[in-house]
């Protein structure tokens, strides 16, 4: 049996580097950017009009007023997207729509409201315009080569807008880890089925599937298996061919019908550890085969969830290009059951009390008590100790991914 720190160091050394792929920019929402994005051209890319109006030479209309309008000849129309090939000469103007490229020779735009309109070739200008007025200059927003998005960014609608603006049809992102996940046990039946004596509803597999999706993983396939060595082996053989990570819940302890560990060995999976000095979740298998990572979590629901967050979740984050979750030291409210020889994990709740962040552990401490997960926003962990943890002592707290700032605002 090894310590929690030893187990985490072993896993860390086995994590393969994150692989990347290029995908269409409009399919990148929620994915992790694998490269820095630099502006390939200035924005705007060319001088363009900020108004519907007329592009003019400023010197031609600088004295225009309502009482003494200036008359210019309209020599064309510039819709957005269709630049004018000719050069504007003195005494000329050209209709231009918002976003239209400023023609050569023009250095100001006059709003159509300050003229006699678009339905004439002899345009009367009733107001002067400043040099460069109503012109969006090349690079006004940013120059070519400007830094736009950082590697590791979780892509949102804002980044997708940037990709489209700069014509990036494909974007390089970290590939989602492919995970095969299975639950195990003859006693399990699916929710919705008639309950039978001695049976329980399958919750672990459904919880793990949601946790995997929230972690940015791609579930290659999943199944609820019986305690049948042949069925387990068939699943694992396929999983080893089609997944980066294999994740199981149950069948990893010392029970008569716990076959999973033996089948791991039969398939050539190298065992790195099987038991960790922790509570809950002492039976915890980790192995590898080539660059595949295999995790066998215990079947009790709290052990499964905490085992996932403490050991599997950091692997998924790193492979997907994400950063690890936040861990802080927080003063404890209430009691905490310290173990002399085991690292202790419990769900807890962090909140603000008199302006100070504190946390309290759940009072449902059994590894079978899934209700301890309800309303929790953190995991409290305390290493082995012969000393009691007293109220006010600092403890390590890892915030759960679903924790929001508003969760911390009340006792």
Instruction: Report pLDDT digits (tens) over 342-377.
Output: 999 998 888 888 888 899 888 777 677 677 777 888
Longest dimension (CA), the chain: 102
E strands, 276-342, are: 278-279, 283-289, 292-297, 327-333
Predicted confidence at residue 403, as pLDDT, reads: 73
**H or E, element range at 225:** strand 218-225
Residue 112 carries which DSSP code?
G
Shared domain check, 126 and 67: yes
- Number of domains into which the chain is organized: 4
**CATH, residue 34:** 3.90.105.10
CA–CA gap between residue 191 and residue 213 (Å, rounded):
20
Residue 192: which domain range?
4-18+176-319
Shared domain check, 312 and 197: yes
Inside any domain, residue 143: no
Inside any domain, residue 380: yes
Shared domain check, 302 and 270: yes
| Mean pLDDT calculated for residue range 200-218 | 89
Q: How would you classify residue 70: left for phi > 0, otherwise alpha for psi between -120 and 50, otherwise beta?
A: beta
Shared domain check, 308 and 275: yes
Rg (C-alpha) for the chain, rounded Å, is 32
What is each CA distance from 172 to 32, 112, 152, in whole angstroms?
Answer: 9, 44, 11
Predicted confidence at residue 175, as pLDDT, reads: 94
Mapping DSSP to helix (H, G, I), strand (E, B) and coil, where does residue 63 land? coil
Helix%, strand%, coil% for the chain, nearest 5: 20, 35, 45
Shared domain check, 206 and 262: yes
Shared domain check, 257 and 198: yes
For residue 257, is pLDDT > 50? Answer: no
| Mean pLDDT calculated for residue range 96-108 | 96
Inside any domain, residue 142: no
The number of CA neighbours under 13 Å toward the Cβ of 266 is 12
Shared domain check, 193 and 282: yes
Q: Residue 325's CB: how many other CB atoms inside 10 A?
A: 16
Inside any domain, residue 379: yes
17: pLDDT confidence band, cut at 50, 70 and 90?
confident
Predicted confidence (pLDDT) per residue in 28-43, tens digit: 999 999 999 999 999 9
CA–CA gap between residue 60 and residue 323 (Å, rounded):
59
């Amino acid at each position: 049996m090894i310590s929690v720190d030893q187990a985490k160091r072993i896993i860390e050394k086995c994590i393969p580097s994150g692989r990347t792929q290029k995908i269409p920019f409009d399919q990148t929402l929620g994915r992790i950017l694998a490269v820095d994005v630099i502006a390939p051209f200035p924005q705007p890319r060319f001088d363009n009009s900020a108004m519907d109006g007329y592009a003019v030479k400023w010197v031609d209309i600088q004295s225009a007023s309502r009482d003494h309008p200036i008359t210019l000849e309209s020599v064309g129309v510039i819709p957005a997207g269709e630049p004018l090939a000719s050069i504007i000469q003195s005494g000329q103007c050209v209709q231009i729509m918002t976003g239209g490229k400023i023609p050569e020779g023009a250095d100001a735009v006059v709003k159509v409201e300050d003229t006699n309109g678009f339905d004439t070739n002899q345009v009367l200008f009733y107001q002067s315009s400043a040099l460069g007025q109503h012109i969006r200059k090349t690079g006004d927003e940013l120059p070519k080569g400007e830094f736009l998005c950082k590697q590791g960014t979780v892509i949102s609608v804002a980044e997708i807008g940037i990709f489209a603006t700069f014509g990036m049809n494909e974007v390089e992102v970290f590939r989602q880890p492919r995970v095969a996940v299975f639950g195990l046990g003859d006693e399990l039946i699916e929710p919705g089925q008639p309950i039978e004596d001695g049976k329980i509803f399958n919750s672990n597999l459904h919880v793990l599937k949601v946790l995997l999706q929230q972690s940015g993983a791609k579930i290659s396939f999943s199944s609820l298996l019986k305690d049948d060595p042949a069925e387990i082996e068939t699943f694992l053989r396929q999983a080893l061919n089609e997944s980066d990570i294999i994740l199981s819940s149950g069948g990893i302890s010392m029970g008569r019908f716990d076959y999973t560990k033996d089948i791991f060995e039969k398939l050539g999976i190298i065992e790195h550890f099987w038991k960790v000095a922790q509570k809950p979740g002492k039976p915890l298998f980790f192995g590898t085969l080539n660059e595949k990572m295999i995790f066998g979590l215990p079947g009790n629901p709290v052990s499964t969830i905490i085992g996932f967050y403490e050991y599997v979740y950091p692997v998924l984050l790193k492979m997907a290009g994400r950063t690890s979750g936040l861990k802080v030291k927080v003063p404890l409210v209430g009691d905490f059951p310290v173990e002399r020889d085991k690292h202790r994990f419990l769900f807890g709740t962090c909140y603000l009390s008199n302006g100070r962040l504190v946390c309290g552990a759940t009072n449902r401490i059994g590894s079978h008590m899934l209700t301890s997960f309800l309303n929790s926003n953190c995991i409290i962990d305390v290493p082995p100790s012969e000393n009691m943890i007293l109220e006010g002592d600092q403890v390590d707290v890892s915030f759960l991914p679903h924790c929001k700032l508003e969760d911390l605002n009340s006792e």
